[in-house]
Chains A and B, each alone.
Chain A
């Protein structure tokens, strides 16, 4: 059987699929967040060094992972949009930006709250923190660039190019703690070696990471639907959609 890779790049099909999946992932996000926060705040043991204060890790690490990963996904959809000229790719790239900016902001904010009691400073200009701040500026710039160009197709192309250029920042953030001396500690969880944290702590963190994934999928699909209607409100399928809703 031959898979049709472009099946869901048809706007009406995508619109229907996103409408079905979005509430599902919202429910999943709620469930996983409740479970993850419960594990993190009540089940996971106290840390030998940082006491109870380390528990902000259950928010900080998942949102930081997500902030970087969303940018990679935006870059992927941007490349797809440029190469394949599929409209849905550009819509997805646009829909993910606000969620990415939100997670980056949360990452910086929870990091500051964690840094003050443990390191003794809200903020330091080390490579990890500075490159994450640049990531926030990249997200904000993507939104500003989009808003500055009236023509949709030109805005799509400009934002896609910008997103692709900015993607070099993601490995810099991730490997900054390895490449340079930083105040920020190294990675506790990586693909190349065993995680350096107790298993209950790790489990809680992974559940929170899945919750962040579910939330991202839910919000971006919902936003993509709205964007799609905004762009193609006059088309035949959108008219039929609304005629159907009105009945």
Chain B
């Protein structure tokens, strides 16, 4: 290779390396601020400030959904299989919201330890298959839902 070209190539590679390392360090420093939601364990062990609006993500505990008669008030628990947080919400839930499925709730943690959600989002996983395949997996005792 032409020495001039070699020099320029080295410059470009070095510049890319410097930019890459700088971005990696910055992203690493902001790690905790870049998460979209916190886990129930982080909330239960007070790793996050709970005196302001936050998001908690996890699975809806099976059997925990309770709807008020005739109202839009609903309560359920979000768990990461270690800790769980009770949630109260008034409003319309997304179609994919269900027991045992992923969810992200946004709101404030009340003084009574119940999370008052202002928004409930459904988090689905990256598995796509026909219903028959999902049934077969379930019969085989394998869960298709990943937290």
Residue B96 lies at the interface, judged by CB distance under 8 Å to chain A: yes
Q: B123 to A168, Cβ gap below 8 A?
A: no
Of A126, A164, A187, A198, the residue contacting B16 (CB under 8 A) is A164
Residues of B within 8 A of A (CB): 5, 8-9, 12, 15-16, 19-20, 23, 27, 31, 34-39, 57, 93-97, 104, 119-131, 133-135, 144
- Binary interface encoding of chain A residues 159-196 relative to chain B, with 1 for a CB under 8 A from any of its CBs, else 0: 00000110110001000000111110111100000001
Question: Are B129 and A47 in contact (CB-based, < 8 A)?
Answer: yes
* B127 & A197 in contact (Cβ 8 Å cutoff): yes
Give which listed residue, A82, A118, A164, contacts B122 with CB less than 8 A: A118
Are A120 and B126 in contact (CB-based, < 8 A)? no
How many residues of A are in contact with the other chain, CB < 8 A?
40
Contacts of B15 in A (CB 8 A): 164
User: A180 with B35: in contact, given A84-B5, A164-B15, A164-B16 (CB under 8 Å)?
Assistant: yes
Q: Decide: B128 and A119 in contact? CB cutoff 8 A.
A: no
Collect the chain A residues with CB atoms within 8 Å of residue B31's CB: 180
- Asked if B128 and A118 sit within 8 Å, CB to CB, the answer is no
Interface residues of A (CB under 8 A from B): 45-50, 54, 57, 79, 82-85, 117-121, 124-127, 164-165, 167-168, 172, 179-183, 185-188, 196-198, 201
Query: Interface on chain A toward B: helix, strand, loop, or mixed SS?
Result: loop
Q: How far is the CA of A94 from the CA of B24 in the complex (A)?
A: 28
Contact A48 B12, beta carbon cutoff 8 Å: no
CB distance B133 to A49 under 8 Å?
A: no
Residues of chain B within 8 A of A84, CB atoms compared: 5
Asked if A49 and B96 sit within 8 Å, CB to CB, the answer is yes
The answer to whether A82 and B127 touch (CB under 8 A), given A118-B122, A127-B34, A181-B36, is no
**Distance, CA A182 to CA B35, complexed state (A):** 6
**A183–B96 CB distance below 8 A:** no
